[in-house]
Amino acid sequence: MKSKSLFTAAMVFLIPALAFAGQKNSADVQLDHPVQVAGTQLAPGNYKMIWQGNGPDVSVSFIEGKKIVATAPAKLVSDPASQPGAIETDTATDKAVILQAVEMKNETIQFQNAISAAGN
């Protein structure tokens, strides 16, 4: 019986730790207008961004509900002056609004394809 109670106790501490670890590479973002990222049009709304990689090169997935709606290459940059929730966009020559960056606390995700897609 001891091993079962130890296992249960370990799981009580492990599950919250895993949940916390999983949230390290994610952030919620609210888009107030349509934007393009990696050639995909994102409608206004709330998305969860999850990135993989330890930086600076990461792959960012945009999740709406439980569905991945876009994935884009990006750079994760340390930015102590970042304003959490701030979104940077640029307008391409075809008038498409391109997502350039999303700022979070002390970090910014800069989308790699944004500059070339915007025609700069």
| CA nearest to 28, candidates 100, 105, 114 | 105
pLDDT beyond 80 at 117: no
Mean pLDDT of 101-119: 75
Domain ranges (residues) in the chain: 26-117
Q: pTM (2 decimals)?
A: 0.73
Q: Report pLDDT digits (tens) over 41-91.
A: 999 999 999 999 977 999 999 999 999 999 999 999 998 988 988 999 999
